[in-house]
Amino acid sequence: MLERSRREMASEILRNKYWILRHGKSIPNERGIIVSSLEKGILKEFGLAEEGIAQAQSAGEQFLKEMNELRERFFGPSFELQSHEKYAEIWALDEIDPLTPPDGGESVADVVSRLVSVLTTIESKFQGCVILLVCHGDPLQIFQTVAAAIKQDTISNNGELGDIIRKVLVPSILSQHRKFALLTGELRQVA
């Protein structure tokens, strides 16, 4: 009997195929500042730039319903409205310990907890669908890290999906999320 591939095993765990799309270029992207709080992130002054609007239109339909769990990772008040150059500090901390959040913000593990909720909800409601997740860079690269761990059989593929995903809450896996960085407006197949 031939041994099953990791992709086949992952497809048994995930009932759907996933694509991700990072939001189009935003005004904070153009200005080179971090806007990660929900309160500021929804303000018009920090919305999509003209280029981002064009990217969104070319990418397809927008979500009809906002999923709070897919919001931007909150980096904390000390990083809010700071230069994009500060991301390097956050990601360096993530490499050392992705379970510890930046001061007042969310850790990589915190974001995984939100994504587990999204993924288990989607997987319980749909089967055999192609799902497009549209949100921000950090949550999407963290989502890819989780999906890659499942596909590469880094974790045991036995049990409920939520339990399997929670097993990736280990620094050696979560600290790798920057390998999955996305450009604004980039579309990528995940699973």
Q: Is position 1 within any domain? A: no
Q: What is the pLDDT of residues 118-166, one digit of tens each?
A: 888 888 888 898 998 888 999 999 999 988 887 775 455 566 776 777 7
- Coil vs helix vs strand at 107: coil
pLDDT of residue 9: 47
What dihedral do alpha carbons 32, 38, 44, 46 form, nearest 10°?
Answer: 0
pLDDT of residue 14: 81
Q: Per mean pLDDT, which range of 6-15, 68-77, 110-119, 134-143 is the poorest?
A: 6-15
Q: Is position 174 within any domain? A: yes
pLDDT of residue 50: 87
Hey, which bits of the chain come out as E strands? 17-22, 130-135, 187-189
Q: What is the pLDDT of residues 49-66, one digit of tens each?
A: 888 888 777 765 444 444
- The residue that leads in pLDDT, 85 or 118, is 85
Q: Is position 88 within any domain? A: yes
| Alpha carbon distance 146, 162 (integer Å) | 11
Q: Is position 190 within any domain? A: no
Phi first, then psi, for residue 50 (nearest 5°) are -55, -45
Q: Is position 189 within any domain? A: no
Q: Is position 157 within any domain? A: yes
Q: Is position 104 within any domain? A: yes
Band of pLDDT at residue 87, cut at 50, 70 and 90: very high
Closest residue by Cα to residue 189 from 124, 143, 150? 143
pLDDT of residue 11: 52
Question: For the domain that residue 48 is a member of, what is the CATH number?
Answer: 3.40.50
Task: Give start and end residues of each alpha helix (H) in 37-136.
Answer: 38-41, 50-59, 87-96, 108-125
Residues paired with residue 130 on neighbouring β-strands, in sequence order = 17
| Alpha carbon distance 140, 182 (integer Å) | 8
Tally of domains within the chain: 1
Q: Is position 30 within any domain? A: yes
pLDDT of residue 12: 65
Tokens 């500090």 label which residue? 89
pLDDT of residue 62: 46
Close Cβ partners of 1 (under 8 Å, ≥ 6 residues apart): none
Hey, which bits of 98-168 come out as E strands? 130-135
